[in-house]
Structure 1
Amino acid sequence: MYLTIEVDDVDSLYQTIKNKGAAISIDLRDEPWGDRHFAIQDPNGVGIDIVKYSPSQALRETG
């Protein structure tokens, strides 16, 4: 199970969490559909996906 949290500045939050020594289960990355995200896991095993939603490049080119 994943809980998704949308944020305005995913890059800054990624660096803050990483600098605190938290284990990152999915490194910061861009998806083909435009999202930029990373994931961590809470102590109970729930995945937390932290994301900045963006339109994909294909949508920007045709929009």
Structure 2
Amino acid sequence: MMNQMQGQFRFAYFTDKYQETYEFYLKWLGLDLAHDWDRNEHDKGAVFKAGGGLIEIMLRPEGDEYRYQGLDYRISQGAFMVIQVSDVDELFNKYQSKGIPFKQEIVSQPWGHRSFSVLEPNGLILFFFEEQFKT
């Protein structure tokens, strides 16, 4: 049977804080920019590489005439991202030296992950972890 889901996973959301969010992912977290666009004042976005997936941020357009049917333009709530990294301690120290605000400082979890989380400008939590106990 052919796998229909062979593309990359992408977490996408709209933000009213587009420039602040863009700079947070690029400059503060140091994520690689896959691509971005600025078609007009109502159509801006960026895609960042994170782990084995992508994070896409888009300026939330004002006015129904700039919105596409089928998309949800509400500000994200209750969602968080989980990103596996190869050296969580090194990343934690790097972010700590930059003054990035932590939601939770680094901790070893009983289920075998070492992790920390940060809060991005829109209130989303980014949870970074490394597996300590490989099976």
Q: Which runs of 5+ in 2 are unaligned?
A: 1-78
Question: Match for residue 51 of structure 1?
Answer: 129
Structure with more relative contact order (C-alpha pairs < 8 Å, separation 6 or more): 1
Distance 1:19 1:13 in 2: 10
Instruction: Report SS of the residue matched to 1:14.
Output: helix
1:2 Cα deviation from its structure 2 partner: 1.3
Q: Does 1:7 align with 2:56?
A: no
Which structure has the greater CA radius of gyration?
2
Which of residues 102, 114, 119 in structure 2 aligns to 1:24?
Answer: 102
* TM value normalised by structure 2: 0.40
Show structure 1 runs of 4+ deviating over 6 A.
none
Measured in 1, the distance between the counterparts of 2:129 and 2:92 equals: 10
Structure 1 residue 23 displacement after superposition: 0.8
Question: TM-score, with normalisation over the residues of structure 1?
Answer: 0.83
Shift of 1:37: 0.2
Kindly tell me the number of residue pairs found equivalent between the two proteins.
Answer: 57
Identity of aligned residues (%): 28
Decide which structure has greater strand share: 2
CA displacement 1:22-59 (0-9 Å, x = unmatched): 11110100011110000001101100000002338xx7
* 1:44 partner SS: coil
Note the aligned Cα RMSD (angstroms).
Answer: 1.5
